[in-house]
Amino acid sequence: MVLGRGVSKRKTLTIDRATANTIKDLANRHGLTISSYMKKLIDKVTKIEELGFFAPTALDDLYTIYTLAQFGFVPIPLEFVDRGIDGSKARSLGMKIGSILRELGIDVENVIETLCRLYRVTIPSGDKLIIVSTQESLKPLTELVKGIAIGGNLEVEESGGVFSIRVRRGVEKHII
């Protein structure tokens, strides 16, 4: 059989049965085929490697970050630590970060979702993230997230003290 240009050839990758079952379970959990799950995984691994990181180490780091988040640890800009920062400066810094991320082609929505998971400052509602800041100490972080969303050209609404960010997909299972 002759394949035309642009048609990819399939390649067999041999893995042990336990690993194959794990991949199948993970794919099913997310409503994906094994092939689409692996494609997404390899695409992300490639992006991490292109940044100069060894992907398994980066995933270890991410696991550590999410584990620490269970104890209230969050990544914050050094400027917050060095000088302290008020809400308006945090939003301004976020707008710069969002703009730069967008220019770099980084999925700003994914950045927002990740920060919201770590900072625990949102209530997911269908296709929106509602930003809440009930603690005074979290206000700079909520303003940073708002700024990143604005700078990243995400669809945002601010009315009556409520700030929401519209996302492309539902967020219930992603944020909680």
Characterize 72-101 residue by residue with b for buried, 16 or more Cβ atoms within 10 angstroms of its Cβ, and e for exposed: eeeebeeeeeeeebebebbbbbbbebbbeb
Q: Quick: pLDDT tens for 57-92.
A: 888 888 878 777 777 777 777 677 666 777 788 899
Q: How much is the pLDDT for 29?
A: 94
> How big is the chain, counted in residues?
176
Q: How much is the pLDDT for 174?
A: 41
Pairing of strands 122-125, 128-131: antiparallel
Q: What's this model's pTM, rounded to 2 decimal places? A: 0.63
Contact yes or no for 145/94 (Cβ under 8 A) = yes
Q: How much is the pLDDT for 38?
A: 92
pLDDT tens across the length of the chain (176 residues): 455 566 667 888 899 999 999 999 999 999 999 999 999 999 999 998 998 888 998 888 888 787 777 777 777 776 776 667 777 888 998 999 999 989 988 888 888 888 887 777 888 888 888 887 667 777 888 888 899 999 999 999 988 878 899 887 654 444 43
Q: How much is the pLDDT for 172?
A: 42
Domain map (residue ranges) of the chain: 17-69, 85-175
Contact yes or no for 62/46 (Cβ under 8 A) = no
Report phi then psi at 168, rounded to 5: -65, -30
Contact yes or no for 87/143 (Cβ under 8 A) = yes
Q: How much is the pLDDT for 175?
A: 41
CA distance 148 to 27: 31
H or E stretch including 143?
helix 139-151
Report phi then psi at 131, rounded to 5: -85, 125
